[in-house]
Amino acid sequence: MQVIRKTLKTESGKVWIDVPDTFGEEVEVIILPVKDRDTDFSYQMMRYQEETGFAKKILSNEKEDIWNDI
């Protein structure tokens, strides 16, 4: 997997990104405000994943917790 991480300045609410040809024709873009970046990127991604339906409905479900049977 190829990743580019940059901190860019906005220009009238816009950001311009040059994407290498090797990335293909479709890319995923994640935008985080710098002022809120009090921890590293991996921690922020973990926090966003906590809010997914999978995390809320499956991982927090007592029926799915295998440790309850031990």
Residue 15 has pLDDT above 80, yes or no: yes
- 57 vs 24: CA distance, rounded Å: 34
Q: Which of 3, 1, 10 is nearest to 32 (CA)?
A: 10
Q: Is the dihedral of CA 35, 36, 38, 42 positive or negative?
A: negative
Residue 25 has pLDDT above 80, yes or no: yes
Model's pTM, two decimal places? 0.44
Residue 37 has pLDDT above 70, yes or no: no
